[in-house]
Every structure is written in C-alpha cells, then in structure tokens.
Amino acid sequence: MMIRRWTKWLAKIVQIVACVAIIVGCAGTVPDGQKEVGMLAEHSPIAGGEAKILQSWQGDYPVAHLDLLPENQREQPVGYIGDAETFEAVWSAFKPGEAVRKIDFRVELVLFVRNTQFYNTVRIGKVKVKNGVAEVLAMETMSAMPIEDKVAMSLVVVSRQGITGIQAPDEVIPVNDNR
C-alpha cells in the first residue's frame, strides 16, 4: 500500500518536473531584427512563429483504432487530420459517446501527438511554425509502462494558414489541401 502511494507521488513529481522543463525550454524568443521566412501580418493566426491553439483535447485512444488515423501517419508520434470524415472517425474512437466537435477544415487543421513506445500522458503545449513547417511541442510523462490496449493522445486545432508541413521525427509530413 505504501509503495503504491509512493509510486503515485513519484509519478506526479515527474509530471511537474517535465512540465517545468518543457515550459522553460519553450520560452525562447526570436532575436531582435531576425525575421521568420514567410512571416504573416500581425493579425495572422501565426504570430511570432507560433500557431495559436484554438481548441485542445487529451485522453486515451484505443490501439485497435489506430487504423483510423491518416494512412501515412499511423506509425508516427505526430501528425494531422485535414478532413471532416477522418476527424469524425478518430473522434468517435477517442471520445466515444461525445458529439463530434465542429471543425472548419477549409481554414483549420487538427494536429495530434500520441505514444509510440510507452504509455505516457501527453499534452500539446505549443505549435511553432517556421518556413511553413509546424513543429508540435508536447509535454509527456515518463514511464516504462508498455503500450497494450491504449495510447495517450493529445489533439489541438490550429489555423491552416501558413502551414505546409508537420515536422515528424524523421521527415516533414506534407499538409495536403484535401478539404
């Protein structure tokens, strides 16, 4: 009983340390005078090289439904959903029983991160955009729990404007205009 409590507290401490590390690591600024290539006007949804997160959700996603993710992104820890049909299928597995959220895919994208090796709670905190490529920055707890029947997943909605690709670990996933 005491070990279980200690393990829960240790997990909470690791989460807090990970959050602080991510926040401190993501707090960098662009030096004065340096312009991002392709920078948009001040009223743009991408300000200072960062896409504004419009909506956000976290939770467990069943491994049995990973096939609902876009085909070329099923093995990736990060990706995007760019059409209502795919989003509806993913949402129904992600949040069964909840009404599908309305997303205007003509002007918005849904970005996701998920576990690929171990089950860890994950949350997208920031989306940086440079030269049209979105880099999703996420916080993740650290565990050695194997993935069995579920993975943790985080979804966010951002504007499509100015985003032409999503940075994955080994490649840039091109954002298709298949709205």
pLDDT in tens, 1-35: 444 444 454 455 445 444 434 333 433 333 333 33
Q: Which tokens hold the place of 95?
A: 């949040």
Q: Which tokens hold the place of 145?
A: 């729990």
**What pTM was estimated for this model as a whole?**
0.74
pLDDT in tens, 76-135: 999 999 999 999 999 999 999 999 999 999 999 999 999 989 999 999 999 999 999 999
- Residue among 54, 55, 50 at smallest CA distance from 127: 50
Give the amino acid at 4.
R
Could you tell me what percentage of the chain is helix, strand and coil, using 3-state DSSP and rounding each to the nearest 5? 25, 30, 45
Domain ranges of the chain: 48-174
Q: Which tokens hold the place of 34?
A: 């340096």
In the predicted structure, residue 37 carries a pLDDT above the cut 50: no
Residue with tokens 């997990």: 11
